[in-house]
Chain A
Amino acid sequence: ELKVEQNPLFLSMQEGKNYTIYCNYSTTSDRLYWYRQDPGKSLESLFVLLSNGAVKQEGRLMASLDTKARLSTLHITAAVHDLSATYFCAVDLRGTASKLTFGTGTRLQVTL
């Protein structure tokens, strides 16, 4: 059974600081996704990581994937209040069927 773990579960950080969210998964996979969710809203796709060593950046967010370590990171650079949200990683085991397994999420609060 695939397990996806995120840490930390809650992160309070000051504006301007850097931090990293970690996503570990238990089974070999070739696709990892990062989503953002604002309170009461649906999921917004941030990154799709398709291969070992993949790195993608958008604004103050950068995601990377190490398939050998079964680890993905979401790095936040110089956080701003607008980044406050819950961030989920999800792993896609494509084989006979494609299904996403989600982590429990990291609630990020950026304070002034």
Chain B
Amino acid sequence: NAGVTQTPKFRILKIGQSMTLQCTQDMNHNYMYWYRQDPGMGLKLIYYSVGAGITDKGEVPNGYNVSRSTTEDFPLRLELAAPSQTSVYFCASTSVGQGPFGYTFGSGTRLTVV
């Protein structure tokens, strides 16, 4: 099993550009999440999804969009990139109602906006 796969691992964007961060999980988890981690800080929730077709905002959603058309995929879209979006982005998933209560994290995407 691959677990949670994120692509790309690194990206440099210019201000105003757009991009999509990809996230795929092969564990049939129903819940998926996007977090960002700024240097020296904990993770903050951007968006989450409780199943295909259902998404909701987290703590820091401004400047981002998500969609969930399948159980496996949960892409994060950045529109009009800004320097404040320079961060490391982690995708995570878990199964709610199915156990064993753990969250699985991807390896992260390091994004720099210049």
Residue pair B42, A105 in contact (C-beta under 8 Å)? yes
Could you tell me the distance in whole angstroms from the C-beta of A107 to the nearest C-beta in chain B? 8
- Interface residues of A, dominant DSSP: strand
Max chain B C-beta neighbours (<10 A), residue from A97, A103, A104? A97
Once A98-B94, A99-B48, A99-B58 are accepted as A-B contacts, the answer to whether A42 and B43 lie under 8 Å apart by CB is no
Q: Say yes or no for A48: interface residue by CB 8 A criterion.
A: yes
Interface size on B, residues (CB 8 A): 24
- Chain A residues near B74 (CB, 8 Å)? none
Question: Do A99 and B41 contact each other (CB < 8 Å), given the known contacts A45-B103, A48-B101?
Answer: no
Is A81 in contact with chain B by the CB < 8 A criterion? no
Complex alpha-carbon distance, A56 and B81, angstroms: 43
Measured between alpha carbons, how far is A42 from B80 in the docked complex, in Å? 26
The reply on A25 being an interface residue by CB < 8 A is no
**By the criterion CB–CB under 8 Å, are A98 and B43 in contact?**
no
Bound Cα distance from A99 to B32, whole angstroms: 10
Interface of A toward B, CB cutoff 8 Å? 4, 31, 33, 41-43, 45, 48, 50, 88, 90, 94, 97-105, 107
